Amino acid sequence: MNTAIKMFLNLVVIGSFSGAVLAGVFSVADPMIRANKEKELKEAIFKVLPEAKNIKTVKKELGAGNPVVVYIGLDETQKPVGVAFKADGVGFQGNVGVMVGLNLDYLKLKGIEILDQTETPGLGDRIRESAFKDQFNGVEAQPMVEYIKYRKPEKPNQIQAITGATISSNAVVSNINKAVEKVLKAFPKAEDLSKAASEEQKQAPEVRHGR
């Protein structure tokens, strides 16, 4: 009986002590982590839309529980210069989150940034290197982006996959394609974007992100 009580107390004390420490650290760290994530998201948007001085967040429901969030980049005169959006999807080991910048004519990508990834260090995580990312600057997004292996791209809608990391390269490309398709469905024409932007004026911009 004595041992049982000792074991019980032992686990209760260690468990509640750990829980308390975690709760304390979390309450301090979580707002900062969120702020860091938000900052990272903003920086990524400005990177994929280099001419933008301002961002406007636009959200549209594409059927129930399927919201499309896009960030419209505006220049000094509040003229739209491009649209950015997040492309999520499964990579080799987990989510690969890509920030995509698209021209307003929906024809060419302006650039991409990798936001989240847990790909293999040294292999798949090379999707973060500019040698890979920069290939997407100006690549044609219609009808879809493609990748080829071991050779330099031949067509204007192609990029070269990283050797030994085809799955990760493919994840980036297919996430982009899926997201472009979704944005096109929600906002078939560029005018829809600017209309939606002015409609949403009153609503507070909301930046959503998964952990």
Partner 1 sequence: MAGKGLGYEFKKGLWQELPPFRLVLGTCPALAVTNSVVNGIAMGLATLFVLLGANIMVSLLRRFVASQVRIASYIVIIALLVTVTDMFMAAFFPPISKALGPYLPLIIVNCMILGRAEAFAQKNPVLPSIADALGIGIGFLLSLAAMGLIREVLGFGTILHFRVLGDWFEPWIVMILPAGAFLVFGGLVALVNYISSRKAAKAAETARV
Give the residue with the Cβ less far from partner 1, 10 or 142.
10
Q: For partner 1, which residue of 143, 164, 188, 205 counts as binding (CB under 8 A)?
A: 164
What order do you get walking across the sheet with 67-74 strand by strand?
A: 54-61, 67-74, 80-87, 97-102, 109-116
Would you count residue 210 as binding partner 1 (CB under 8 A)? Answer: no
Least distance to partner 1 from the beta carbon of 155, Å?
A: 26
CA 22/CA 15 separation, integer angstroms: 10
| Cα separation, 117 vs 40, whole angstroms | 14
Q: What is the dihedral of CA 29, 35, 37, 43, to 10 degrees?
A: -150
- Segment lying near partner 1 (by CB under 8 A), choices 28-36, 96-104, 135-143, 169-177: 28-36
Classified as helix, coil or strand, 178 is: helix
> Residues 54, 118, 142, 203: which binds partner 1 (CB under 8 A)?
118
The secondary structure of residue 160, as a DSSP letter, is: E
Comparison of 7 and 107: residue with beta carbon closer to partner 1: 7
Nearest residue to 92 via CA among 66, 68, 127: 127
Residue 131 as a binder of partner 1 (CB under 8 A): the answer is no
Residue 55, classed as helix, strand or coil, is strand
Q: Taking CB under 8 A as the rule, does residue 21 contact partner 1?
A: yes
Give the binding-site size for partner 1 (rule: CB under 8 A): 29
Under the criterion CB under 8 A, does residue 14 sit at the interface with partner 1? Answer: yes
Phi/psi at 156 (5° precision): -70, -10
Per CB under 8 A, the segment of 32-40, 74-82, 95-103, 177-185 that binds partner 1 is 32-40
Binding site for partner 1 (CB under 8 A): 3, 6-7, 10-11, 14-15, 18, 21-22, 25-26, 28-30, 32-33, 36, 40, 93, 117-118, 120-123, 125, 163-164
